[in-house]
Amino acid sequence: MNTKGSVLIIARPSQLRASLQVLLTTIPQIERIDLVDSGPAALALSAEVLPTLVLLDLNSPDDQTAATLKQLKAKWPHSQYIVLVDKEPGKQLTRSAKAEVILIKGVPAAKLLAAIEALLSQ
């Protein structure tokens, strides 16, 4: 990928969110990282924010995560989406919202990094 992209992390302030932010700063294709605490906060962002990649961890019931993902995809249909879920059943519910990648929290950083880089290279 020759152009640089931006990433939107949707997650409550936590060690996970801070770690994601640090991990993303190591990827040369990323020039901007935006952080919001919730799906509604993401939906309220200005039209200037056009993320290449959205990382979603809402720590909410998985049906709410799926509904939020559908709303985000309507706002940013050209973005790529990675959703972090707490356990396997969450993958099934979130899959219906058609995220490009769904991972269970605690996945090795190398696997998450590979997924991010693969989506950014598309």
Q: Where in the sequence is the domain holding 57, given as residue range(s)?
A: 6-120
Amino acid 1: pLDDT: 40
Tell whether 104 is covered by a domain. Answer: yes
Looking at beta carbons, which pairs linking 64-68 to residues 24 or more positions away fall under 8 Å? 64/39, 65/90, 65/93, 65/94, 65/97, 66/93, 66/94, 66/96, 66/97, 67/97, 68/39
Overall domain count for the chain: 1
Pairing of strands 30-36, 53-57: unpaired
Tell whether 28 is covered by a domain. Answer: yes
CATH number at residue 13: 3.40.50.2300
Residue 30 banded pLDDT, cuts 50, 70, 90: very high
Residue 10 has pLDDT above 90, yes or no: yes
Tell whether 1 is covered by a domain. Answer: no
Higher-confidence position of 107 and 3 = 107
Cα–Cα distance measured from residue 50 to residue 14, given in angstroms and rounded to the nearest whole number = 24
Tell whether 14 is covered by a domain. Answer: yes
